[in-house]
């Protein structure tokens, strides 16, 4: 980690810059797949709500492996794991356009690819969250996380529009090749990073993996603010996964929007996301992380409800969808950046992998349940009714903040590395 009396700007730290560039390119590619994969299922394979629920579940089911992966991440060089994960995702996603070109694409193949990509994404996300604190100072974590999300927000402005155009030009499955290429760029950037990671403790062969998992859970659950944030995130994940599972189906089948219009919705709402990442640092400094998280959860809940209400004329549909996505995108950094920075600042480096994994197990592990519930409700109650239930759930989750330690968090505590 680069250290000095007065920390250099992150833009002048070469290792951070390499990581940031690689992740920005990869993030652009991922916006293509985020739109192209569900459109492949809906438009090309004529997927039902139940099948969309299964696809969403396949992508998120690997979260249940988080606890075991967390132990691995705490005892293996994180950069090595990042390279392995990106290489695997490049090969898996690159196979989709090939299979489609051969005329062999089936929904079951998407389930398998989704599951395997989900496993590698889990490994990557746990590793990079634990890797960043080895590149920059802890007091720069909010800035580092903000810069990463700022680039993601910029990409969310241009990416979906580009995705819609590419899908219209190439078809959805063929457009995914762009994402495969972007993972290659990420691998190259990671290979160029030169840093000495904190020496990781080798796990004794006779030591129980369950004991190590327990240490991560205890570090997370034994810290009130981290425990309360995990509960809030779990509630949000359950209801948000219900919305995301059938969103494309709702927009394409019921609202009759095109891939280009769908990309436009995501692109315009990305401006709000960029604004959020630019504002979050100052809001955290003035109000503290707790109040910022409360604001973020409020905006995302309101945005989710507006999306469920979309209907009427095309102009009204676009206003409600863009407005809902904009509120959600604006609120997401207010919630995500402070809670991530709290977790990174309060957790010793040698426990970061397991703490992040424990949180991911509890928060992301509930997504498959939400996806399956969404598919079942979508078939039986209708897509709009399911979206309304999701929006109401997001609003109810907001009340947890008032009964927890979250709103009292006014600064970022430091922790011992012992």
pLDDT tens string 103-161: 999 999 999 999 999 999 999 988 888 888 888 777 787 788 888 888 887 887 888 88
Higher pLDDT, 334 or 132: 334
Overall average pLDDT of the 91-110 stretch: 94
What ranges do the domains of the chain cover? 13-193+208-408
Report how far apart, in Å, the C-alpha atoms of 139 and of each of 249, 291, 345, 347 are. Answer: 43, 19, 8, 13
Q: What is the pLDDT of residues 22-55, one digit of tens each?
A: 999 999 999 899 889 999 998 899 988 889 989 9
- Closest by alpha carbon to 345, among 133, 144, 200? 133
User: pLDDT grade, residue 2 (50/70/90)?
Assistant: very low
The superfamily CATH assigns to domain 13-193+208-408 is: MFS general substrate transporter like domains (1.20.1250.20)
Q: What is the CA radius of gyration of the chain?
A: 21
Residue 382, C-beta contacts closer than 8 angstroms, at least 6 positions apart:
none
Length of the chain: 418
Q: How far apart are CA 33 and CA 24, in angstroms?
A: 15
Neighbours of 271 (CB within 10 A): 17
Mean pLDDT rounded to a whole number for the chain: 87
> Do the beta carbons of residue 352 and residue 78 sit within 8 Å?
no
CA distance 57 to 68: 19
Q: Are 61 and 384 in contact (CB under 8 A)?
A: no
> Which of left, alpha, beta for 409 (phi over 0: left; psi -120 to 50: alpha)?
beta
**Cα 173 from Cα 169, distance rounded (Å):** 11
Query: By C-alpha distance, which of 414, 417, 412, 405 is closest to 352?
Result: 417
Q: What is residue 199's predicted lDDT score, i.e. its pLDDT?
A: 54
- Asked if 301 and 237 count as a contact pair (C-beta separation under 8 A), the reply is no
pTM above 0.75, yes or no: no
Q: What is the DSSP letter of 370?
A: H
- pLDDT score recorded for residue 3: 45
How many Å apart are CA 401 and CA 14, to the nearest integer? 39
Question: For residue 169, what are its two tokens?
Answer: 């030009």
- Measured from the Cβ of residue 50, the count of other Cβ atoms closer than 10 Å reads 14
Q: Quick one: pLDDT at residue 240? A: 93
């Amino acid at each position: 980690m680069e250290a000095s009396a007065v920390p250099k700007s992150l833009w002048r730290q070469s290792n951070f810059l390499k990581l940031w560039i690689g992740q920005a390119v990869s993030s652009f590619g991922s916006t293509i797949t985020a739109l192209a994969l569900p459109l492949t299922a809906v438009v090309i394979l004529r997927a039902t709500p139940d099948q969309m629920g299964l696809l969403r579940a396949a992508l998120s089911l690997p979260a249940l492996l988080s606890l075991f992966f967390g132990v691995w991440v705490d005892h293996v060089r994180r950069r090595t794991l990042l390279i392995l994960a990106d290489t695997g995702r490049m090969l898996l996603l690159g196979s989709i356009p090939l299979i489609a070109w051969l005329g062999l694409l089936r929904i079951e193949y998407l389930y398998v690819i989704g599951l395997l990509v989900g496993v590698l994404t889990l490994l990557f996300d746990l590793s990079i969250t634990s890797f960043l604190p080895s590149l920059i100072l802890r007091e720069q974590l909010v800035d580092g996380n903000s810069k990463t999300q700022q680039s993601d927000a910029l990409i969310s402005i241009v990416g979906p529009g580009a995705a819609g155009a590419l899908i219209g030009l190439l078809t959805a499955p063929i457009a995914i090749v762009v994402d495969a290429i972007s993972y290659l760029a990420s691998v190259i950037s990671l290979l160029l990073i030169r840093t000495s990671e904190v020496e990781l403790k080798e796990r004794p062969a006779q030591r129980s993996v369950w004991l190590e998992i327990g240490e991560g859970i205890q570090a997370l659950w034994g810290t009130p603010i981290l425990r309360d944030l995990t509960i809030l995130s779990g509630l949000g994940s359950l209801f948000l996964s219900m919305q995301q599972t059938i969103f494309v189906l709702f927009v394409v089948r019921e609202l009759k929007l095109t891939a280009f219009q769908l990309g436009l919705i995501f692109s315009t709402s990305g401006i709000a996301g960029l604004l959020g990442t630019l504002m979050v640092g100052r809001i955290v400094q003035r109000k503290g992380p707790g109040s910022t998280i409360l604001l973020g959860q409020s905006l995302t809940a309101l945005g989710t409800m507006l999306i469920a209400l979309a209907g009427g004329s095309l102009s009204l549909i676009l206003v409600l969808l863009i407005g809902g996505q904009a509120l959600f995108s604006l609120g997401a950094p207010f919630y995500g950046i402070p809670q991530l920075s709290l977790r990174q600042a309060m957790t010793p480096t040698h426990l970061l992998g397991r703490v992040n994994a424990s949180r991911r197990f509890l928060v992301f592990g509930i997504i498959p349940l939400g996806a399956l519930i969404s598919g079942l409700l979508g078939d039986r109650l209708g897509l709009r009714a399911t979206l309304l239930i999701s929006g109401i759930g997001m609003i109810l989750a907001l009340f947890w903040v008032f009964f927890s330690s979250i709103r009292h968090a006014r600064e970022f505590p430091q922790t011992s590395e012992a």
